[in-house]
Amino acid sequence: MSNVAVIGLGIMGLPMAKNLVAAGYTVAGYNRSQGPIDALAAAGGRGATSIADAVADADVIITMVPDSPDVAGVVRGEDGVFANAKAGALWIDNSSIRPDVAKELADEAVAAGLGVVDAPVSGGEQGAIDAVLSIMVGGTAEDFAKAEPVLNAIGKTIVHVGPAGAGQTVKAANQLIVAVNIQALAEAVVFLEAYGVDTDAALTVLGGGLAGSKVLDQKGQKMLNRDFGPGFRLALHNKDLGIVTAAARQVGITVPLGSAVAQLVTSLVARGDGGLDHSGLFKLTAELSGRD
């Protein structure tokens, strides 16, 4: 299982591919734009000219693209993964997509003679760079065992959470928790600034107590600095919260906080802020309070 193809060399996919090269895998990468392909080649990987070229000799195929239609687009059709991967190859989808789509595509992969796991990741760009991603994996125990060595090269916490689609369900829960935490942190920072306290000191002490979280650690300073360069774009979190709210409705449960934050994220995307980091929720929160 030494030859790996990576389809999608974006903010997350490129550092993941580089970490696979560093771990000793032979990595071929394909992306719609040429720049990331060249960056992978410079790091010791091979730039592929097409999906078919990338997967031809691959033992493991990783897809890391934005949404459900994107995943379906790269695996289906004459030029897709299913038609061009060798029999017995393992497909790992690290994208975050709808659980029902993940299950549907997993069935198609099996019919095409492939192993498959849905393995969405959490940890953002820095987690991808540092190879410390949290990875929630859905699929059979056999396919998880095959995927685990590869996933260990890109992540730190790798857990088999159930059958096909289960990884995406857990990722949706992750995105719900993260969004609500970011909004709570944004409100807390606006509150602290309104009272004129030393916000750096305040976040330090808050981080040491029950209010502490990875969200506070990674996003608090970004809010204080008004630095919303994307580690994980609001547009993608908007997509993920759409998955959460739709899936919740499908099983008849309520997510009142998640639904409220989803509307705030949607409003930011609608006004043109979708390219900002999801800590950009602070911008709207501050504006609603008449502050900048």
Whole-angstrom CA distances from 40 to 5, 45, 131 are 12, 5, 16
**Helices and strands per DSSP (H, E), number in the chain:** 14, 9
Q: Which residues pair with 27 in a beta bridge?
A: 4
| Cβ pair 39, 11 in contact under 8 A | no
**Which of the residues are catalytic?**
171
Distance between CA atoms of residues 287 and 292, nearest Å? 6
Instruction: Indicate the helix (H) or strand (E) that contains 66.
Output: none
Backbone angles phi, psi at 25, to 5 degrees: -80, 150
Angle (nearest 5°) at CA 119 between 263 and 24: 130
